[in-house]
Amino acid sequence: MKAIVLTDFGDINNLRVQDLPMPTIKDDEVLVQVKAISINPVDAKTRNGKGAAARLANDNPMILGWDISGIVDNIGKAVTNFKKGDEVFGMVNFPGHGKAYAEYVAAPAAHLTLKPGNITHEEAAAATLAALTAWESIVDALKIEENDKFLVHAAAGGVGHFAVQLAKHFGAWVIGTASAANKDFVLGVGADEFVDYKARPLEEVISNVDKVLDTIGGENIDLSLNLMKPGGTILSLVSGKNEEVQEKAAAKGMKGMRLLVHSSGENQQKIAALMEKGILKAHVSKTYSFDQVPEAHLQLESGRTVGKVVIVL
């Protein structure tokens, strides 16, 4: 099978298409013939030796990627919830070695769910790491409730566009930030208010926020704390740029949290259910072929991605 091997940590030239033996599956795994792969900022960070790099470094070959949608080709002896031919999607082995940049992926059955028939493999692949992060942030960590005033930074991005939709579903009043070019997109996914973070200081237009999803880190945490109500909560996702969020928030009488998303077929199933009902949609702004993964990495590293980019096999 074809796979994209990371020959060493570094730039996109280290991503090479190679022929590898088919993966073998353990008793609790399924073999998935991959139809679409989504990529995330952590893919590029890991390629560069950051992100999840330490968890791959001792393996040979190293294969990036975690987000897949495809067709079950074989099942392990202990798998009871899937059969050959099922269409499935999920985030495989995150944070670990997902090995998703390949024609076939061995995935724990517990990390997958059935793909709803009304969405494409591209849309399903897009609704994995980013959607699970939004779900774990909004439901498990921030516990978003009706009428919460909720600020989503980078509302046009992968995590952001899912976070806006989920928070609206749970009844929040949602403010989304992006640059002016993405105003219609952010309002289109359901935000109640759009704020252009480049036009003027956020504190001139945003105040009394209950909960914040920080997708930027660093100074954005300090900035956000000035927009929040006493007792408010900020959740920061950007590892390496959010170590002090708890201390900074506590100093202002607020709560600061960090989160690292984890593979979960159970949460993936809840996302699938909302997609089946048309409540949650994945916006795929661009697709690439398998050979174009290096180009897709450059797109991600631009920091300007709208919704998700997906690799189609």
List residues near ligand NAP by CB under 6 A.
40-42, 129-130, 133, 153-154, 156-160, 177-179, 182, 197, 215-216, 237-239, 259-261, 300, 303-306
Instruction: Enter the DSSP assignment of 115.
Output: P
Of 110 and 141, the one with the shorter C-beta distance to ligand NAP is 141
Least distance from C-beta 196 to ligand NAP, angstroms?
8
CB of 239 to ligand NAP, least distance (A): 6
Shortest gap between Cβ of 282 and ligand NAP (angstroms)?
12
CA distances from 286 to 19, 36, 68 (A): 26, 12, 16
Closer CB to ligand NAP, 77 or 143, in the complex: 143
Q: What is the DSSP string of 167-198?
A: HHHTT-EEEEEE-GGGHHHHHHTT-SEEEETT
Report the residue number, 30 or 234, with the smaller CB distance to ligand NAP: 234
CB of 234 to ligand NAP, least distance (A): 14
In the block, tokens 């909560």 appear at 233
Q: Are strands 2-6 and 62-63 parallel, antiparallel or unpaired?
A: antiparallel
DSSP 8-state assignment for residue 122: H
What is the C-alpha end-to-end distance of the chain, expressed in Å? 12
Cβ distance to ligand NAP smaller for residue 65 or 158? 158
* Residue among 123, 125, 126, 132 at smallest CA distance from 95: 132
Give whichever of 23 and 176 is closer to ligand NAP, judged by the CB atom: 176
Q: Which residue is nearest to ligand NAP (CB)?
A: 157
Count the residues in the chain: 313
Tell me how far, at minimum, the Cβ of 195 lies from ligand NAP, in Å: 9
Q: Would you say 16 and 47 are in contact if contact means Cβ atoms under 8 Å apart?
A: no
d(Cα 217, Cα 236) in Å, to the nearest integer? 7
Report the nearest approach of ligand NAP to the CB of residue 117 (Å): 27
- If the CB atoms of residues 65 and 160 are measured against ligand NAP, the closer one turns out to be 160
Report the C-alpha gap between 245 and 258 in whole angstroms.
8
